[in-house]
Amino acid sequence: MAESLYKQQAELANLIERYSVKDGVNATAIPSLFFIRRSNVTGPKHSVYKPSLCIIVQGAKEVWLAQERFRYSPADYLVSSVDLPVTGQVVEASSDIPYLALNLVFTPSQILEVLRDSEIRGGKKENAKRAMFVSPIELSMLDAVIRLARLLDNPKDIPVLAPLFTKEILYKVLQGQHGGTLEQIAIEGSSTNRIRDVIEQIKNNYDRSLRIEELAEKANMSVASLHRYFKEVTAMSPIQFQKQLRLQEARRLLLSEPTDAADVAFHVGYESPSQFSREYSRMFGFPPREDIKRLRAKYDQTD
């Protein structure tokens, strides 16, 4: 089995190398499939993971969700079942043996379709669980992933076969030891499904004052239940979640547009530039101006 797994990973590594035109995230002809290549270890990178499956075939990575660390390598796969602000770091990579991985984005409706067709668990509502998990990779899942990736060599087959192979991959995840966690995002009325709706509300209104009572009403929960389930799913409170979204967007704006920190602070919802600067420094390690200067210098060196 180990030899078969190695052969599959080698083939997948070859496909990722061929279709990765640069270091970083590479889109593919399959809209939901992305290839990632890194020639060296990286510092912490802040981002928001969409609901997705992540598989590494070379190297290793650590992902921090609030104070929880998830490490995975070619022996595992990682799933984020809802949108989650995280900090990720490639911890094993070199120019000779680059970090190679893929990311397959999915939607709750795709999960629901698999559940309806398979009746894996019967669609029972369960208590909310952490929306990120790492599981051991299996041959059957890797086989389906390779068949999906091979479609890049036959683009005309993508519209028909990519949805089928994606469905098979999600079916394998749902059959795994943490499949119940993924299942809950698609079950109408489950606590995880309702928290997903709250996450969507915060994402769409991250720059506005957060009214916990309104969120609780939307989720049909008490304020206490909302806090408890939200933290169970995301490892953070709604306020902390919103703060991470605000600060990540602020950093993106500062890096991509000619603007100053005070304007960006107001744009992302802060009323106090000094509070913004304190929280920015706490999250990224440097005040806004110094952080952006440092990042631009780093990018100039790699160009």
User: For the segment 282-299, what is each residue's pLDDT rounded down to a tens digit?
Assistant: 999 999 999 999 888 876
Mean pLDDT over residues 240-246, rounded?
A: 97
Question: Residue 177: its pLDDT value, please?
Answer: 87
189 pLDDT tier (thresholds 50, 70, 90): confident
Q: Is the pLDDT of residue 272 over 90?
A: yes
Fold of 241-302: Arc Repressor Mutant, subunit A (1.10.10)
Mean pLDDT over residues 164-192, rounded?
A: 92
Q: Is the pLDDT of residue 257 over 90?
A: no
Percent of the chain past pLDDT 70, that is, above it, reads 95
146 pLDDT tier (thresholds 50, 70, 90): very high
Q: Is the pLDDT of residue 65 over 50?
A: yes
CATH number for 2-180 (one of 3.40.190.10, 3.20.20.70, 2.60.120.10, 3.40.50.970): it is: 2.60.120.10
Tell me if the pTM is above 0.85: yes
Task: Convert the pLDDT of each residue in 69-117 to its tens digit.
Answer: 999 999 999 999 999 999 999 999 999 999 999 999 999 999 999 998 8
Question: Residue 265: its pLDDT value, please?
Answer: 96
State whether CATH 3.90.230.10 applies to domain 191-240.
Answer: no
DSSP secondary structure string, the chain? Answer: -HHHHHHHHHHHHHHHHHH--SSEEEE-SSTTEEEEEESS----EEEEEPSEEEEEEESEEEEEETTEEEEE-TTEEEEE-S-EEEEEEEEE--SSS-EEEEEEE--HHHHHHHHHHH-SS---------SEEEEE--HHHHHHHHHHHHGGGSGGGHHHHHHHHHHHHHHHHHHSTTHHHHHTTTSTT-HHHHHHHHHHHHHHTTTS---HHHHHHHTTS-HHHHHHHHHHHHSS-HHHHHHHHHHHHHHHHHHHSS--HHHHHHHTT-S-HHHHHHHHHHHHSS-HHHHHHHHHHHHHHH-
Domain ranges of the chain: 2-180, 191-240, 241-302
Q: Is the pLDDT of residue 68 over 90?
A: yes
Question: Residue 188: its pLDDT value, please?
Answer: 84
Q: Is the pLDDT of residue 225 over 90?
A: yes
Q: Is the pLDDT of residue 277 over 90?
A: yes
5 pLDDT tier (thresholds 50, 70, 90): confident
Instruction: Tell me which of 97-106, 181-190, 225-234 is least confident.
Output: 181-190
303 pLDDT tier (thresholds 50, 70, 90): very low
Mean pLDDT over residues 171-177, rounded?
A: 93
3 pLDDT tier (thresholds 50, 70, 90): confident
Mean pLDDT over residues 180-203, rounded?
A: 92
What is the overall mean pLDDT for the chain? 93
Query: Do the domains 241-302 and 191-240 match in fold?
Result: yes
Question: Residue 125: its pLDDT value, please?
Answer: 67
Contact at 8 Å (CB) between 168 and 144?
yes
